[in-house]
């Protein structure tokens, strides 16, 4: 009789655990909906589903542990199971966390021009596991979201255009101040493509040449290569070995 009563009590406790889990799910889901109301519906649905599964899974473990006659053994087995699942789905969990970062904190959006580890281009799509960017040459590069968690992403988009940087190399025997003035004049000859005044600074000297860094904001990202080639062409009228890169 005592064993039957004990089992009934454990079943009642397990039932209370499930009810508590249900209430917790309702409460946490409402908070999540309010917190993430600005994200796209498909992603929000995915987050809510994962959140619900986690709460119910934990509740199930607790409920079974309560019912089981060997609570310690069951807890140990479920602990091993959880660790195993985490190890098995480690990469998937990292990607989901990275997707959460990209879609909630929104460091960029479709249409922005970004640069990541020397690769720059326009964001054409943001998927579950990766973001695809298109370079000025029309090449499409797929970047896993996990990669973005460990590497800085530079959003080059401004309200009026995108920021571009490039180097100009000229012969070493040219007066730096005069060269800087000439480079500025050449860059400003395409004023219609620029948003602001270019910033030109001496970067370094190498292989018998002076290297200048040019930074400016342009209206049309698709014209980056055209602008660089135009500047190089004009500079080579003065210095045969001038290079823009």
Does 117 lie in the same domain as 82? no
Closest to 118 in 3D by CA, of 90, 68, 154: 154
Where does a domain end: 61, 88, 115?
88
Please indicate, yes or no, if residue 95 is contained in any of the structural domains. Answer: no
Instruction: List, as one string, the DSSP characters of 30-69.
Output: HHHHHHTTTS-HHHHHHHHHHHHHHHHHHHHHHHHHHH-S
**191 to each of 8, 185, 219, how far by Cα in Å?**
83, 10, 10
Please indicate, yes or no, if residue 99 is contained in any of the structural domains. Answer: no
Identify the pLDDT of residue 9: 79
Does 147 lie in the same domain as 174? no
Secondary structure (H, E, C), 96-147: HHHHHHHHHHCCCCCCCEEEECCEEEEEEEECCCEEEEECCCCCEEEEEHHH
212: domain range? 162-244
Whole-angstrom Cα distance, residue 36 to residue 244? 45
Where does a domain end: 155, 172, 191?
155
Does 80 lie in the same domain as 6? yes
Does 225 lie in the same domain as 207? yes
Please indicate, yes or no, if residue 29 is contained in any of the structural domains. Answer: yes
What pTM was computed for the model?
Answer: 0.49
Identify the pLDDT of residue 73: 60
- Are 171 and 122 in contact by the 8 Å Cβ rule? The answer is no
Does 128 lie in the same domain as 176? no
How many domains are contained in the chain? 3
Each residue's pLDDT expressed in tens, for the chain with a length of 245 residues: 466 777 777 778 888 888 888 888 888 888 888 887 776 676 677 778 878 888 888 887 777 777 765 556 666 666 776 776 666 667 667 777 777 788 777 888 888 888 887 788 889 988 877 889 988 778 899 888 888 877 888 888 877 788 888 999 998 888 888 999 999 999 988 888 888 888 999 988 887 889 999 998 888 877 888 889 999 999 999 888 899 99
CATH assignment of the domain containing 206: 3.30.70.380
Please indicate, yes or no, if residue 97 is contained in any of the structural domains. Answer: no
Question: CA quadruple 38, 39, 40, 46: dihedral positive or negative?
Answer: negative
């Amino acid at each position: 009789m005592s064993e039957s009563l004990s089992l009934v009590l454990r079943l009642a406790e397990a039932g209370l655990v499930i009810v508590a889990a249900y209430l917790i799910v309702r409460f946490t889901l409402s908070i999540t909906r309010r917190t993430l109301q600005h994200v796209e519906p498909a992603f929000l649905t995915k987050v809510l589903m994962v959140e619900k599964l986690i709460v119910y899974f934990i509740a199930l473990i607790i409920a079974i542990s309560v019912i089981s006659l060997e609570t310690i053994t069951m807890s140990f087995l479920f602990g091993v199971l959880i660790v195993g699942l985490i190890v098995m789905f480690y990469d998937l969990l990292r990607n989901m966390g990275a997707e959460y970062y990209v879609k909630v904190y929104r460091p960029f959006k479709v249409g922005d021009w970004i640069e990541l580890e020397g690769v720059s281009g326009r964001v054409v799509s943001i998927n579950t596991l990766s973001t695809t960017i298109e370079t000025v040459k029309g090449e499409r590069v797929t970047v896993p979201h996990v990669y973005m968690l460990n590497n800085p992403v530079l959003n080059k988009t401004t309200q009026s255009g995108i920021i571009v940087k490039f180097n100009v190399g000229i012969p070493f025997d040219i007066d730096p101040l005069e060269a800087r003035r000439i480079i500025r004049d050449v860059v400003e000859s395409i004023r219609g493509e620029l948003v602001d005044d270019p910033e030109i600074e001496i970067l370094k000297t190498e292989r018998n040449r002076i290297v200048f860094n040019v930074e400016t904001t342009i209206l049309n990202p698709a014209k980056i290569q055209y602008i660089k080639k135009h500047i190089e062409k004009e500079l080579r009228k003065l210095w045969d070995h001038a290079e823009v890169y």
